[in-house]
Chain A
Amino acid sequence: MLTIVDYGVGNLASIKNMLKKVGSDALISSSENDILAAKKLILPGVGAFDTCAGKLQASGLVNALHRKVHEEKVPVLGVCVGHQLLFRDSEEGKLPGLGWIPGNVVRFNQGLLTPGLKVPHMGWTDVVVSKSSRLFDDMHEEPRFYFVHSYHARLDDPADALVQADYGYRFVAGVEHGNILGVQFHPEKSHKFGMKLLSNFVKHY
């Protein structure tokens, strides 16, 4: 079962809706047993980093997640702040992330943005896929996704970068590190591009 981790934040219905559209019946759950039984996980997240990190800690699911992802090597896809939680920490908050991928999360460097570019970066942006990945198998041409964020990942190892996008400068918009994947954008709100990506996660992982 593909399980969407419900730790009290975000718009989980949208992810479930799109998965349903691509033929996958996902479970939204906050139960440790469901997480332990999952074959695949989606870690959502929206809002402030510390709000998400704090609620995830308080949910009591962190140990189960560590076990699934590290010992059982179950595929996990972080979305938006769920993607940011994959790293050590964030400039936005004080709480630690899950630390599954070496790197941290930093605010858009306003000094490098051209005048008129506002933070948050909100809207559709074209992406560049930087390494071959089943997540982008058969992707539609000129892939673009919907972003809403003020912070982005900075990787210790550039080889973990899966997707990049330009907003004033090129930043990491998605990662793949073994069984751990994350995207800064919202596939569940990105039409056929998001459908293809989620359907690839369902079929190929």
Chain B
Amino acid sequence: MMRTRVIPALLIQKGGLVKSVKFKDYKYVGDPINAVRIFNEKEVDEIVILDISATAEKRGPNIQKIREIASEAFMPLGYGGGITRLEEIRELITAGVEKVILNTSAFQNPGLVEEGAKYIGSQSIVVSVDVKKNFWGKYKVYVQNGGRNTGSDPGGYARQMENAGAGEILLNSIDRDGTFAGYDTELIKIVCDSVSIPVVAIGGAASVSDLAEAAQFGASGVSAGSIFVFQGPHRAVLISYPSQAELKKNGLIK
């Protein structure tokens, strides 16, 4: 049986769990540790936690909090947000994180990707690539939580990060974030064709069949935020995760 990884992504802002639309309009969703406990019970494949206020607040990861979360996570745990030094990568791994996710710092200092991969192995170094279409419809990579256009094209940038030592790409469509409009499959295909490492797609999923579609376009893992924390048109908070039967029905297990 082949299983595509289905990965809830949780955003943390000022210690609370939030969810955005297009990297804006944050809505408070709850307590992160509680959410991880619930996802644990639902036996999710993997979990990703992104502290989206760390870089803006010019601070590193909250190791104590992450250690607490990790002690409740009996599945692989990825963490991103505010990581700028190898020492922080070490601390995160020791705290119980399997995958360290670099975004702004990977752009500013690709050497950190290399050092991280040398220290713990490529499989634990993920580079998050946030992408937005510009006025002329060209894909561009953004950093600083969508606040700064790097001018790079996503395929070339992802390849550069693979060469630096990244073991996985977390590919995030800013335009689709929180919109329930489905994944940007064109973007997924471009990046998957550009690298030989696994790509995890995120941004826009509204249903399990959307997750399956992203996998068909080459994603090794499919991630989402809103569909796992909201229910209904008014974004009522309800943590959910597809059952094994649903995953099988949609071809995510085959």
Report B185-221 residues with CB < 8 Å from chain A CB. Answer: 196-198, 218, 220-221
Main secondary structure of the interface of B (DSSP, over half): loop
**CB contact between B121 and one of A13, A14, A47, A192 (< 8 Å): that residue:** A47
Q: Does B96 contact A (CB under 8 A)?
A: yes
CA distance A201 to B104 in the complex (A): 43
From known contacts A123-B3, A148-B123, infer whether A13 and B70 are also in contact, taking CB-CB under 8 Å. Answer: yes
Indicate if B88 sits at the interface (CB-CB under 8 A).
Answer: no
Q: How far is the CA of A65 from the CA of B71 in the complex (A)?
A: 28
State whether B93 touches A11 (Cβ < 8 A).
yes
- Measured as residues with beta carbon below 8 angstroms from the partner, the interface class of chain B is 20 to 34
Which of B46, B93, B97: most chain A CB closer than 10 A? B93
B95 and A13 within 8 A (CB):
yes
Q: Which of A1-39 contact B (CB under 8 A)?
A: 11, 13-14, 17-18, 21
Chain B residues within 8 Å of A131, by CB: none
User: Which of B75, B94, B119, B122 is in CB contact (< 8 Å) with A189?
Assistant: B75
Secondary structure at chain A's binding surface: helix, strand, loop or mixed? mixed
Q: Decide if A123 touches B70 in the complex (CB within 8 Å).
A: no
For the complex with contacts A11-B94, A18-B74, 20 further pairs of A-B residues with Cβ separation under 8 Å are: A13-B67, A13-B94, A13-B95, A17-B70, A21-B74, A46-B121, A46-B124, A47-B120, A51-B121, A118-B220, A123-B5, A124-B3, A124-B5, A125-B1, A126-B1, A148-B98, A148-B123, A166-B1, A190-B74, A191-B75
Which residues of B are in contact with A by a Cβ distance under 8 Å?
Answer: 1, 3-5, 40, 43, 45-46, 67, 70-71, 74-76, 93-98, 119-124, 167-168, 196-198, 218, 220-221
6 contacts between A and B (CB under 8 A): A11-B94, A13-B95, A14-B70, A118-B198, A123-B45, A125-B1
